[in-house]
Amino acid sequence: MPDGGIGHVAFRVDSLDEVRGVYEKVRKLPHAKPEPVSHANTWSVYFRDPEDNRIESSPRRRGTRRSLAGSMSITASMTRS
């Protein structure tokens, strides 16, 4: 990426379940290299498009709070090979 460019493009989805769905789809793509990331209060998944641009999918802020157990469940499912 050239200096001075944007770091990534972010797309907001309606729920953490949708973030997990994005992860499940992109992890099958050879170029995507998905990376689930905890932001302490929510989760995102970062991945690459075919031109190596970094993309983020994260839930909208409203209604994203979940229990620790729920977050751990999402983490476990997103980090399995």
CATH number for the domain spanning 60: value is 3.30.720.110
pLDDT of residue 59: 92
End-to-end CA distance of the chain: 28
pLDDT of residue 25: 94
Q: For residue 2, is it within any domain?
A: no
Q: For residue 44, is it within any domain?
A: yes
Cβ atoms of residues 39 and 8 within 8 Å: no
**pLDDT tens, residue by residue, 43-58:** 899 999 999 999 999 9
Q: For residue 3, is it within any domain?
A: no
Q: Which residues pair with 38 in a beta bridge?
A: 43
Phi, psi for 46 (deg, rounded to 5): -105, 145
Tell me which residue range forms the domain holding 20: 9-79
**Residue 13: closest CA among 2, 4, 21:** 21
Is 0.75 surpassed by the pTM of this model? no
Q: Is the pLDDT of residue 77 over 60?
A: no
Q: Is the pLDDT of residue 31 over 70?
A: yes
Mean pLDDT of the chain: 78
